[in-house]
Amino acid sequence: MTKSSHPSQKFRRQDWKNQVLRALRPWHRRLGLCSALFIMLLVVTGVAINHSQDFKLDTAQVKQAWLLDYYGISAPNSLSVFSVRPQVLVATDTQLWLEDKLILETKLPLLGAMKVGQSLFAIDSQHGYLFSLAGELYETQGLSTGLPQGIEAMTYNDAGVWLKTAQGLFLSDEELVEWQPASTTVSASADIAWLTPIEKTNLSKEQWQSIELNARSGHLTWERVTLDLHSGRLFGPLTVWLWDLFALALLMVVGTGCWIWWRQSPSRK
């Protein structure tokens, strides 16, 4: 009796293993499909992150308003438009924009920017910034280069570039290198029209929206978006847990795949 029971036990054990295999295969396929999509996402975003400089993701600003809204990036507190023709020059807090290109970030609030001959010149209270018309920074002036400190305003006329400071008025030479105190008795200084931002009411709605969008985009790059997508943080903290579940699913696919292969290998038959 004992000997005759062995074959039936062996068959029952083999039948149970076959049932487990049949139950695992569809789940293995389903988890594999989900994991494949997850892996594809990680591969694409991972390659993009590794080559972010090559793809210029680290400098490419996000221009999509809905994505900026999603990140909670609003318009800056200070938005000063100094020129719209022939080029748009906008200062936003500590950033300077030429058209839709960010050309300068400073530590101090920008007070003005304007076209001076064949160059662009911008100021904060302690520095002057000289650019090409294309927005390339030529020179940064400060106390060490003889630039007056405590700058309050600037303007440009036939006499040159004027600076209004706490110590009085200063006038530049033609090369914007030397700054000399200007006597308040000079007839030209009495009628100086200091540079002021263009009023919002003098701009069209489309112009203002475009300028505002550029200002917002300076705070978000595609590299940041790609990093958040890669880590799962793009869709909120709960998505990080979802990414962990995908990782566990991938681990289960590996485990079930190895087990199915092991059970079906010729040496096990």
In a domain, 186, yes or no: yes
Domain annotation covers residue 33: no
Domain with residue 82: its CATH number is 2.130.10.10
DSSP assigned state of 144:
G
Nearest to 120 by CA among 88, 78, 79, 168: 88
State the residue range of the domain holding 146: 75-199
| Total domains, the chain | 1
Task: Tell me if 159 is assigned to some domain.
Answer: yes
For 170, what's the count of Cα atoms within 13 Å in the CB-facing half-sphere?
A: 21
Asked whether residue 187 is domain-assigned, the answer is yes
User: Given strand 179-182, what is the order of strands in its sheet?
Assistant: 151-157, 160-165, 168-172, 179-182
pTM of the predicted model over 0.75: no
Task: Look at residue 21 and tell me if it is in a domain.
Answer: no
Cα–Cα distance, 81 to 99 (Å, whole number): 11
- DSSP structure class, residue 92: E
Per-residue pLDDT of the chain (269 residues; tens, 9 = 90+): 445 455 555 545 555 555 555 555 665 566 666 667 777 888 898 899 999 899 999 988 999 999 999 999 998 888 999 998 888 899 988 899 998 889 999 999 999 999 999 999 999 999 999 999 999 999 999 999 999 999 999 999 888 899 999 988 999 988 888 999 886 545 455 578 899 999 988 888 888 988 899 889 888 999 999 998 888 788 777 766 777 777 776 776 666 666 666 666 655 55
Does residue 11 lie in a domain region? no
Domain membership of residue 157 (yes or no) is: yes
